[in-house]
Amino acid sequence: MPILNVKVSGTRSNATTNAISDMLIDLTHRILGKDPAVTAIAIDYVDPRDWTAGGKTLAEQGKSSIYLDIKITDETNTKSEKAAFIEATFQGFAALLGNLHEESYIYVQDVRAAAYGYGGKTQEWRYQRAG
């Protein structure tokens, strides 16, 4: 049940949105073991003229960039799984967008089960009823 918030440089298109969504669903399922049926993704597009890295806009540099913030329930993934996810996600965006700036960030947040949930129920509530 992760929630992924993505900022991506560029102009919105259905093809790009679908490609990003498909890639992230695959990686969260394959690497982190998350259920695609309860994975949510929100994508915001930012004009490269409005995104700076190293004091210059991405437009000036001819680069693309992303910022991804994914929230997962604490203690459900190992350090190695999170590192593999970060690496695969960076490579996936580099392939999708091309010329990805090194200053593209992926932030995996481990959120306490009692403080995180969906459908009005915490993950802790779900865990207690599952076992």
| In contact, 4 and 69? CB cutoff 8 Å | yes
> Could you please report the per-residue DSSP string of 76-97?
SS-HHHHHHHHHHHHHHHHHHH
- The phi, psi pair for 15, rounded to 5°, reads -65, -45
pLDDT given for residue 131 in this prediction: 72
Q: What is the mean pLDDT of residues 58-80?
A: 97
| In contact, 100 and 66? CB cutoff 8 Å | yes
pLDDT given for residue 110 in this prediction: 97
pTM for this structure? 0.94
Asked if pLDDT for residue 55 goes beyond 80, the answer is: yes
pLDDT given for residue 1 in this prediction: 83
Asked if pLDDT for residue 28 goes beyond 90, the answer is: yes
Q: Which two tokens stand for residue 36?
A: 């695609």
